[in-house]
Structure 1
Amino acid sequence: MSVGLLALLDDVAGLVKVAAASLDDVAGQAAKAGAKAAGAVIDDAAVTPNYVHGFTADREVPIIGKIALGSVKNKLIFLLPAALLLSFFAPWVITPLLMIGGAYLCYEGAEKVFHALLPHQAEAHEAALVPAAITAQTLEDQKVAGAIKTDFILSAEIMTIALANIPVENVITQAMVLALVGIGITVLVYGAVALIVKADDFGLLLAKKGRTGAGRAFGRGLVTGMPGFMRVLSLVGTAAMTWVGGSIVAHGLYEFGWDLPEHIIEGAAHWAEHTFSSFASLAGWFATAFVDFFFGLLLGTLLIPVAGYVVSPLWGLIKRVLPKRAAKPVA
């Protein structure tokens, strides 16, 4: 009996070692896959603070919490199984779906630029698409829903990039890595966003109750500097949505055989790297982002009238028809 027990314990210890090595491997792969998606993660972090702009301080963290919960649902409930199923059964569908999402990001970015340049016309366009918020709760719900839609597309890009950089083909390992990437990135992004939007409150607390003069001065600096920082971050978020969308669509067009946008982007990057050779990598990145942004802005601008004159009336017709069908008695 004692020999059998020792053998059993030895087997259990072996299984624990294998499991630990497997978990360590999953963690390592998740870190590598998440690093490959770092660009989209940064874009996500830059975009999200826009959605709490204009709300009172006591609603900022709850709103971020709602968006973060929606982001986790996006990644784990919808995108993770969809990514695995599509990559196995219909990999050819992934690129068109990402392109549709990229086009939506371009539209969102262009619409924000349109609002900044022509606010009255933009407000009329928005009123035709989205009913006006009657209460503060309605406005909050609209903002959260819009943020979760945008997060869905950015999360789809993150999960797709992560899946493409997982070296193993075992479905269980892929699912574990994607789940770890999804949860880790959500905590990282929305934790950072919460710190950013509450920095001015922390600065006010320091300015009032700091124990040292330097601490109180730092608090006053935070209070004074955060509004400008948030405006800059809002601009970066708009640009990020637009260049990410433009990049997704341009890359998709390249895969479908129309390589002109991709060649223009690559040509701009090579020119910048040779022109500014002392910081070639940074110059190439800026050139790529600028051309992606310009392409995305052009596409998004073309989509604004499409949304106003085609998508919105069609969606209104669908909403009018659906209740009528639901009201028909069942035979």
Structure 2
Amino acid sequence: MAGSFFALFDDIATLLDDVSMMTKVAMRKTAGVLGDDLALNAQQVTGVAANRELPVVAAVAKGSLINKLILVPSALLISAFVPAAITPLLMLGGAYLCYEGFEKLAHKFLHGHDVKTIEHEARQQALNNPSTDPVAYEKKKIRGAIRTDFILSAEIIAITLGAVAQASLVQQVVVMSAIALAVTVGVYALVGCIVKLDDLGLYLCRKRHVLARATGRALISSAPYLMKTLSVVGTAAMFMVGGSILVHGIGPVHHLFEHWSAGLDTLAGPGPLLSMVAPSLLGALFGIIAGGVVVALVSLVEKLRPTAH
């Protein structure tokens, strides 16, 4: 009896150890999407009243949990009944990441400043318009943020599924549930902190202590730069993650990049370092090219589509 108990305990410990290792791998693979998820959700809740920012973040977080309650079982069903669909779905998600990243770059470099100015003015007009229903405006922001979260959550779940595709069903359930919960809590806790940075800065600026006031001014001045940094890091990560997914799904390209990376290892000096970062950089470059191709195809389809009169 005691032997059976300790054998069961050993099995549970082994399972938890495997789950822990797979969760770490999955978190590393999804880290790129998380940067973009964080930046996008922080941007989505801008424009609401200061005293409503945290309730809006909480409402979006609740919607995000519902999204994952739909996505995790769906992913597990695909893994159980149509495992061959995992790689195509991953590549589809990777292509979408590259498309979204390239569209961001094109948007920024072609009409970035004008679009931002127009969006800011439209938001201010809506907020200052007496006929604007603040409750309806807030609900619209929440729905938009939850839609964005659904797309990014689908990408995170798909990448996680690819990382645990060879594991047992129990391990898949535990790892994917852990990732879904950790991502939701982590991202929206950080979003809540980010959107309240300026309020914390104003609070500190009112203090008498010189250090507190200096910290407050630093927080207020750094908040916009933090948002920009998150956006840049998120976009770069989209190319790295999306490109790597596509490269791994295309055998000849994957082998070619591996060969090039291995060749760098023989160089003197920075060779080993270059060999280490080359796969990620090559993946990102491939992601940029793939994103450009997808954007061009989407633009072509939109031009060819007959317009309704």
> TM-score normalised by the shorter chain: which range applies?
0.7 to 0.9
Q: 1:55 to 1:158 in 2, by over 3 A?
A: farther
Unaligned ranges ≥5, structure 2 = 116-125, 127-131
Question: Per chain length, whose mean CA-contact separation is higher, i.e. which structure has more relative contact order (CA < 8 Å, sep 6+)?
Answer: 2
Deviations 1:36-81 (A, max 9, x none): 12334322331122233243344544444344334433434333x3
2:121 aligned partner? none
- Conserved 8 A contact 1:269-1:285: yes
Report the secondary structure of 1:55's partner residue: coil
For 1:300 and 1:230, the matched residues in 2 are separated by 27
- Conserved 8 A contact 2:95-2:246: yes
* Match for residue 26 of structure 2 among 34, 37, 42: 37
**Count of residue pairs the alignment pairs up:** 282
Bigger drift between 275-284 and 186-195 goes to: 275-284
* Match for residue 198 of structure 1 among 196, 199, 202: 196
- Conserved 8 A contact 1:41-1:189: no
For 1:101 and 1:303, the matched residues in 2 are separated by 16
For 1:282 and 1:64, the matched residues in 2 are separated by 38
2:118 aligned partner? none
For 1:186 and 1:18, the matched residues in 2 are separated by 35
For 1:19 and 1:291, the matched residues in 2 are separated by 48
* Match for residue 214 of structure 1 among 211, 214, 228: 211
2:291 aligned partner? 297
Per-residue deviation, 1:94: 0.9
Deviations 1:148-189 (A, max 9, x none): 21221122212331444x4xx3x3343233322322233233
* Match for residue 243 of structure 1 among 240, 244, 256: 240
1:7 aligned partner? none
- Conserved 8 A contact 2:61-2:188: yes
Report the secondary structure of 2:250's partner residue: helix
Q: 1:189 to 1:142 in 2, by over 3 A?
A: closer
> Which residue identity does 1:177 align to in structure 2?
V
- Conserved 8 A contact 1:246-1:293: yes
> Which residue identity does 2:26 align to in structure 1?
A
2:229 aligned partner? 232
For 1:69 and 1:307, the matched residues in 2 are separated by 36
1:94 aligned partner? 86
1:252 aligned partner? 249
For 1:265 and 1:175, the matched residues in 2 are separated by 33
Deviations 1:214-258 (A, max 9, x none): 33322321221121121121112122223322222222232xxxx
For 1:189 and 1:150, the matched residues in 2 are separated by 12
Whether 1:83 and 2:67 are equivalent positions in the alignment is no
For 1:31 and 1:269, the matched residues in 2 are separated by 30
Bigger drift between 269-278 and 102-111 goes to: 269-278
Report the secondary structure of 2:206's partner residue: helix
Bigger drift between 94-103 and 58-67 goes to: 58-67
For 2:196 and 2:11, the matched residues in 1 are separated by 39
For 2:147 and 2:86, the matched residues in 1 are separated by 24
For 2:52 and 2:84, the matched residues in 1 are separated by 42
- For the pair shown, which has the larger CA radius of gyration, 1 or 2? 1
For 1:104 and 1:306, the matched residues in 2 are separated by 17
For 2:26 and 2:101, the matched residues in 1 are separated by 21
Normalised by the size of structure 2, how large is the TM-score? 0.73
2:61 aligned partner? 68
* Match for residue 177 of structure 2 among 170, 176, 179: 179
Once the two structures are aligned, what percentage of the paired residues are identical? 30
For 2:233 and 2:224, the matched residues in 1 are separated by 14
For 1:278 and 1:114, the matched residues in 2 are separated by 34
Per-residue deviation, 1:108: 1.4
Deviations 1:16-39 (A, max 9, x none): x77766655454333211211233
2:42 aligned partner? 52
Q: 1:91 to 1:285 in 2, by over 3 A?
A: same
- Conserved 8 A contact 1:108-1:242: no
Normalised by the size of structure 1, how large is the TM-score? 0.69
> Cα RMSD between the aligned structures?
3.7
1:106 aligned partner? 98
For 1:116 and 1:32, the matched residues in 2 are separated by 39
Q: 1:62 to 1:264 in 2, by over 3 A?
A: farther
2:277 aligned partner? 283
Q: 1:162 to 1:76 in 2, by over 3 A?
A: farther
Bigger drift between 151-160 and 89-98 goes to: 151-160
Per-residue deviation, 1:277: 3.3
Per-residue deviation, 1:268: 5.4
Bigger drift between 290-299 and 239-248 goes to: 290-299
